Chains A and B, each alone.
Chain A
Amino acid sequence: MKMKLKYFSAPYLVWMIVFILVPLLMIGYFALTTDSGSFTLKHVSDVGQYANIFVRSIWLSLIATAICLVVAYPVAFMLSRMEKHRQGTMLMIVMLPMWMNFLLRTYAWMTLLGNNGIINHLLGTIGLGPVKMINTSGAVVLGMVYNYLPFMILPLYSVMVKIDKSMFEAASDLGCSSAETLWRVVIPLSMPGITSGITMVFVPAISTFIISRMLGGGSNLLIGDLIEMQFLGNAYNPHLGAAISLVLMVIILVIMTVMNQFDPDDQVLM
């Protein structure tokens, strides 16, 4: 009796269909039906009411992603140029905070940013008045940057570490200044890292509801809050919640498609 290898995946295929595909289809089904099960476009068009929440979420997560990219790029570059044996340790030190549960890390910022928090206490001792930090959009962006910065560093590093040192030598031999080397050699070569870093930060940032709740004070709703409110919160309406999720998925699909255009490898993901 001979068994083909491809049958090995049968149990997973069943699992995949039941617990990945069907649930996603159910979001579509819920978004397009009423309680009694008849077809309606009401919920999808109702999402329009919350357009400015979408705009706000996209805007805030774009800012957070941009900051992450700017902050992480030099870090990843320096990491990748370190001696081999130090790289591992350094990488571990950079990634270590990510292993703490993100609720705890966000909670830490709550205590730091409060009106009577530590930062304002320190400012007070040097004679500066209390600064309003918590419950602002800035605090939300800070929370996103803090929580997702490692997601940007890691892909950048893993691409940069493969860039051979001789590339830089060649570039400078050919008369490139260091700025030109950066622009013409390093950035193009690290493009796959940049694109995957951007998606890895942007997607969780746009859909978070914890950060905005803990640092944004509930008056700065994001898409995530809106979805959570429809399923487990103060405005129970799973149909609308499903419709919002559907729109969120479309936004992310668009972002991914655009990102893939900058990716030289013609690989998976649509």
Chain B
Amino acid sequence: MMKRRIFTLVSVLALSMGLFSGCAFSDDTEEEEGESQSLTVEDRDYYTRFKGDGISINVYNWGEYISTGADEGTLDVNAEFEKLTGIKVNYTNYATNEELYAKLKGGGTSYDVIIPSDYMISKMIKEDLIQPLDMDNIPNYKYIMDNYRGLAYDPDNRYSVPYTWGTVGIIYNAEQIDTPKEEIDWDILWDEKYKDQILMFDNPRDAFAIAELLLGYSLNTEDPDELKAAAEKLKEQKQYVQAYVMDEVFDKMAAGEALLAPYYAGDALTILEDNEDLDFVIPKSGTNLFVDAMCIPSSAKQKEAAEMYINFMCEPDIAYANIDYICYSTPNSAAYEMLDEEVREDPVSYPDSEFIANKTTVFVNLSDEANDQMKELWTEMKSETANKWFVPIFLVVCVGIIAFVLIRRHLKKKKDIF
């Protein structure tokens, strides 16, 4: 009797397992077909070197910054890499350059590939947080356009391989904001009319940049007074700001939670696809131009595999899949060629070279003092300061309360005894 019952149980289990693996299997074949159709790499042998070694690499990237295959017909880049090379990818996300920096600086982590922005790259080079690349292992570097080589943050192209670039602009609800597109400038983010309808960058460097643009300062100013003035400007804006966000902007803008938000051009294009009321403008008065590039931290354990991953990301097909999915601008000439004419001429993704030359600024790393000051001003802006004697006095009061309580208890005990 018992035996039979166990038998039934096992067969039911086996059946359900079979069903599961069955459906998983069918999906696999589908994906493989997809791969053989779309993915061509130049040198397969280069990628299969580590097959069977059981290597894994840790990739730390911005959120929403790679093609994941979540939408129909797109490529799951990490899965393709794993399939091709046999190297497992542990993929995790950060939201700001500063978060990435904190994680690396704290120590004890071993990320193999990271994608910081320009100014953070030079800061990391200075602090030895990233290491020089072996360009012989990254033959696809040849696809990187000349404009994106030898930039100020990495003049000798030793540490980084550009992944994307772009500008910062304003996403706005064209239905409810009647200012004509050409006239929208950064000061609209300070407009009382749109109180509680404005989203703002939740990281100091980007937020300060907007205030600095408005005040006519350099985006790389280290002048303490100018930084202070910019912080004042941000403080003034705080009353109109609904929330300080990073990638939360995707859902908030798409769902119509707010009317205005400064953000990166590529993400803005993605958001525009979800809500037709929205439009995006790069203010004529100027903006920040950023380059995000792939680097290998000094603490990386799998340098060669990481270089392979970087090389893979520069494969024309892969670079195209990523750019197509995240809508940023590409520094990869082959991927650029594959883009639709329409995209290549879109002034949002690829502004004309005159505008880039005259009206955009690339961030450079600030001095430690300026960085510290900005950090402090930023936290202060988000909190508004009070008297500096408050905490010492508060602590003394606390100690006093404890002492009082203990003494009272002591006296009470004595009384109880008698």
B 69-109 to A, binary, CB cutoff 8 A, 1 in contact else 0: 00000000000000000000000000010110111011000
Is B1 in the interface zone, CB < 8 Å from A?
no
Which A residues are CB-close (under 8 A) to B395? Answer: 247, 250
* Cβ-neighbour of B391 out of A54, A218, A229 (below 8 A): A54
Cα A219 to Cα B398 with chains together (Å): 28
Given contacts A115-B256, A116-B257, A219-B241, contact A234 B203 (CB under 8 A): yes
Interface size on B, residues (CB 8 A): 47
The reply to whether B378 and A217 contact each other, CB–CB distance below 8 Å, is no
Is A221 in contact with B99, judged by CB distance below 8 angstroms?
no
Contact in complex: A235, B401 (CB < 8 Å):
no
Partner of B379 from the list A115, A218, A226 (CB cut-off 8 Å) is A226
Question: Does residue A114 face the partner (Cβ distance < 8 Å to B)?
Answer: yes
Answer yes or no: A135 CB below 8 A from chain B CBs.
yes
Chain A residues contacting B98 (CB-CB under 8 Å) are 233-236
Q: How far is the CB of A249 from chain B (nearest CB, A)?
A: 11
- Interface pair A49/B402, CB less than 8 Å apart: no
With a cutoff of 8 Å between Cβ atoms, the chain A residues found around residue B245 in the complex are 217-218
Q: Contacting B388 at CB < 8 Å: which of A49, A53, A237?
A: A49
B196 touches A218 (CB 8 A): no
User: Does B405 contact A219, Cβ atoms closer than 8 Å?
Assistant: no
The answer to whether the Cβ of A146 comes within 8 Å of any Cβ in the partner chain is no
- CB atoms of A254 and B378 under 8 A apart: no
Complex alpha-carbon distance, A54 and B245, angstroms: 22
When A51-B391, A52-B385, A236-B98 are in contact, do A231 and B106 touch as well, CB less than 8 Å? yes
Interface membership of A182, Cβ < 8 A: no
Residues of chain B contacted by A261 (CB below 8 angstroms): 405, 408-409
Minimum CB–CB distance from A41 to chain B (whole Å) comes to 9
Known A52-B386, A217-B245, A257-B402; further 19 A-B contacts with Cβ < 8 A:
A48-B387, A49-B379, A52-B384, A55-B386, A115-B257, A134-B257, A135-B242, A217-B244, A218-B245, A219-B243, A221-B382, A232-B103, A234-B96, A234-B204, A235-B375, A236-B105, A253-B398, A254-B402, A257-B405
Partner of A49, one of B238, B378, B380, B409: B380
Q: Is A172 at the interface (CB under 8 A from chain B)?
A: no
Pick the contact of A116: B106, B241, B244, B255 (CB < 8 A): B255
Query: Does B394 belong to the interface (CB within 8 Å)?
Result: yes
Q: Quick one: which of B216-254 are within 8 Å of A by CB?
A: 238, 241-245
Q: How far is the CB of B175 from chain A (nearest CB, A)?
A: 14
Interface residue from B255, B257, B378, B383 paired with A52 (Cβ < 8 Å): B383
Q: Does B180 contact A (CB under 8 A)?
A: no
B54 contacts the other chain (Cβ, under 8 Å)? no
The contact string, 1 if C-beta is below 8 Å from chain B, for chain A 32-60, is 00000000000011011111111100000
State how many angstroms separate the Cβ of A263 from the closest Cβ of chain B: 11
Instruction: Name the A residues within 8 Å of B418 (CB-CB).
Output: none
The answer to whether B379 touches A51 (Cβ under 8 A) is no
Separation of A53 and B257 alpha carbons in the complex (Å)? 27
Say whether chain B's binding surface is mostly helix, strand, loop, or mixed: helix
Pairwise interchain contact B398-A48, C-beta atoms closer than 8 A: no
Q: How many residues of A contact B (CB 8 A)?
A: 40
* Chain B 347-375 interface mask (CB, 8 Å, partner A; 1/0): 00000000000000000000000000001
Query: Chain A 209-246, CB within 8 Å of chain B: the 1/0 string?
Result: 00000000111010000100101111111100000000
B389 at the interface (CB under 8 A from A): yes
Determine the chain B residues whose CB is within 8 A of the CB of A233 once the complex forms.
Answer: 96, 98-99, 102
Q: Is the CB of A135 within 8 A of B243?
A: yes
CB atoms of B105 and A257 under 8 A apart: no
Interface residues of B in 121-141 (CB under 8 A from A): none
For residue A200, CB closer than 8 A to chain B, the reply is no
The distance in angstroms between the C-alpha atoms of A258 and B400, with both chains bound, is 12
Assuming A116-B255, A237-B375, A238-B106, is B382 touching A218 (CB within 8 A)?
Answer: yes
Determine if A132 is an interface residue (Cβ-Cβ < 8 Å).
Answer: yes
Interface residues of A in 248-270 (CB under 8 A from B): 250-251, 253-254, 257-258, 260-261
The yes or no answer to B202 lying at the interface (CB within 8 A) is yes
CA–CA, A51 and B386, complex, Å: 6
Chain A CB within 8 A of B20 CB: no
B97 closest partner in A (C-beta): A234
Residue on A with the closest CB to B202?
A: A218
The residue in chain B whose Cβ has the minimal distance to the Cβ of A254 is: B398
Q: Is the CB of A132 within 8 A of B394?
A: no
Asked if A114 contacts B257 (CB within 8 A), the reply is: yes
Partner of A258, one of B102, B255, B389, B405: B405
Q: Are B387 and A51 in contact (CB under 8 A)?
A: yes
Contact A235 B106 (CB under 8 A): no
Give the nearest-CB partner of B256 in chain A: A116
A55–B393 alpha-carbon span in the complex (Å): 13
| Smallest beta-carbon distance A246→chain B, Å | 10
The residues of B that contact A251 with a CB separation of less than 8 Å are: 398
Is the beta-carbon distance between A48 and B401 smaller than 8 angstroms? no
Interface membership of B392, Cβ < 8 A: yes
Q: How far is the CB of B202 from chain A (nearest CB, A)?
A: 5
Q: List 5 A-B contacts (CB under 8 A).
A: A52-B386, A221-B382, A232-B102, A234-B96, A254-B398
**Interface positions of A from 122 to 147, Cβ below 8 Å from B:** 132, 134-135
Q: Once the chains are docked, how many angstroms separate the CA of A36 from the CA of B42?
A: 50
Contacts of B401 in A (CB 8 A): 254, 257-258
| Cα distance, A47 to B244, chains bound together (Å) | 23
User: With a CB–CB cut-off of 8 A, which chain B residues contact A218?
Assistant: 202, 243-245, 382
Decide: A217 near B391, CB < 8 A? Known: A115-B257, A236-B102, A253-B402.
no
